[in-house]
Structure 1
């Protein structure tokens, strides 16, 4: 233990000079400052400091009947005298901690019985405090036993949240909890997200992507689900906490349906993302439904600028001079199957339509 650590605990540090002085005192049977200073070649201040250290460490104690004389005592006696009180306090504190924990844990059956009763009465809670929602999610994660289902729409994950997400995922996976996560295809082109997925899948997580997803969703042990609250843009979103078994089961079925139709996310170092065709197909499908650029970008989790770049490339490849003509060329080519819908009007389009000329 370093000297600073000794001092922090209220104990003096036994240095080499003080140890030598203690050895001489044992040989003499008492601590004679002048004699010890002469034998060890010490100055008077050094001998006085050694005496103070040894007294503080209880290695020198007054002789019974003659307090002016200091005699050395055994290290075991000094240790018992010096740290005995601290050890006793530590034992008492540990006992108090154990008693408090035992008393609180005795309430666990009452708590869980109350929770079961509450779940039967309340289908869900609407929590508007974002900090409280996060606290509840953290609590459910810590007590999760079997499985976590997650839907994270919106494209790439913000890089600043990935370290905490990686730590949380590792904690779950280390406990043997199965973890399945759905992202959108656009997340595959983001390097921080790919690195995160590579780490968690190596630890046992499963990750897939789809072109479109429903809103953010967390489900723990198929017992409780968290859905984002619809709040104003300038307020942090709260959450609807769903406990009713039928509703939670329905949300699990929705997740399983999306999962079955999604593509495994298997990032490999040195290989570029292979979802360009998937993203373009999704853009074409939404364009054919008549959605504007902003809506297409929002539904696919990408920026409007990136979306417009894709649309420009698609229009060029289809040899079209307008969105209308691109839509007609897509419908005529059969890329999207039997889906001849005009891009902006939402009405059937034919080769005679002036918009396609």
Structure 2
């Protein structure tokens, strides 16, 4: 129960009446009145109008009957309920003419819904998460997650797994260098599989193979909610192909040896350089920061003996490192 703070001020509502308030109010009800001096530890009784001065003796207070106190507080709530009911009737009457018109049209399937703004996107994902009964597939590109994001993900994931729903998640290899991700995986070991790839497609969530969410803008402020069976099936196939190529998080990633000691990450960067991607784009696609990306490019320059970006692209093509597979 909440009580007074060090300054004697109450900080609770009437539904969380403090211990002193409950005891003194009950005493006043049993006796019919209570000395004013006794209620000093619980000024909330006067603030909430549960006691009022005795007209015959100002040193005493009389209790307001519980039924009267309850009715006094229920009245505005009931009035608000009535107002909301009235408003709902007005809304129904307002849309009724349009219902007649839409009934003549083919039924809408809502195969593609555009969601604008983080609040609406998260609300739609929350609904899909709550309704999910068997399986969640997620693709999460990018680098390591903050502790706050992992904490929220753990809370949401635990609630889903506890219902018997399985989760398969794809991250990028860069998360392997983050202890928080491993701790997250260990906490969700039951019912959750995590694999990683060097490069992933954009973020994607699929629930029960029936509804999918994908971004519609790079800044993730607009998303698409997809319920068309054909579109969802296509995205599931994309996920399954990526899943087969991915490595379980708790297993080591193996790369075929490359010339001049070039790592698998550097080979992926080399491929994107040849395709014409700039540093920012490469870093984003591989889930690393730009500084790390440029450090790998510098090592590629040194390994292949390149003195410029243009020469590096030529030397990559001539080296044969892109002919090998992970």
* Contact 1:219 1:226 (C-alpha < 8 Å) held by counterparts: yes
- Residue 216 of structure 2 corresponds to 229
1:230-309 alignment to 2 at 5 Å?
230=217, 237-266=221-250, 277-309=263-295
Matched, 1:330 2:319: yes
* Contact 1:127 1:240 (C-alpha < 8 Å) held by counterparts: yes
Match of 2:173 among 185, 190, 206: 185
CA deviation string 1:198-222 (max 9, x = no partner): 33x4243111111111111111111
Question: Distance in 2 between the 1:166 and 1:203 partners?
Answer: 12
Once the two structures are TM-superposed, the CA of residue 138 in structure 1 deviates from its matched residue by 1.1
* Contact 1:144 1:220 (C-alpha < 8 Å) held by counterparts: yes
Q: What is the total number of aligned residue pairs between the two structures?
A: 274
1:133-212 alignment to 2 at 5 Å?
133-199=121-187, 201-212=188-199
- Residue 353 of structure 1 corresponds to none
Q: CA RMSD in A?
A: 5.0
Structure 1 residues 136 and 222, CA, compared in 2 at 3 Å: closer, same or farther? same
1:52-131 alignment to 2 at 5 Å?
118-119=108-109, 122-131=110-119
Structure 1 residues 313 and 283, CA, compared in 2 at 3 Å: closer, same or farther? same
Q: Secondary structure at the match of 2:323?
A: coil
* Contact 1:154 1:301 (C-alpha < 8 Å) held by counterparts: yes
Question: Distance in 1 between the 2:36 and 2:280 partners?
Answer: 83
Once the two structures are TM-superposed, the CA of residue 88 in structure 1 deviates from its matched residue by 9.6
Structure 1 residues 47 and 278, CA, compared in 2 at 3 Å: closer, same or farther? same
Question: Distance in 1 between the 2:194 and 2:210 partners?
Answer: 21
Question: Distance in 2 between the 1:88 and 1:174 partners?
Answer: 42
* Contact 1:315 1:326 (C-alpha < 8 Å) held by counterparts: no
Question: Distance in 2 between the 1:51 and 1:294 partners?
Answer: 68
Q: Secondary structure at the match of 1:202?
A: coil
Q: Secondary structure at the match of 2:209?
A: coil
TM-score computed with the length of structure 1 as normaliser: 0.58
- Residue 43 of structure 1 corresponds to none
Once the two structures are TM-superposed, the CA of residue 169 in structure 1 deviates from its matched residue by 1.1
* Contact 1:208 1:262 (C-alpha < 8 Å) held by counterparts: yes
Question: Distance in 1 between the 2:118 and 2:22 partners?
Answer: 54
Structure 1 residues 123 and 3, CA, compared in 2 at 3 Å: closer, same or farther? closer
TM-score computed with the length of structure 2 as normaliser: 0.63
- Residue 321 of structure 1 corresponds to 305
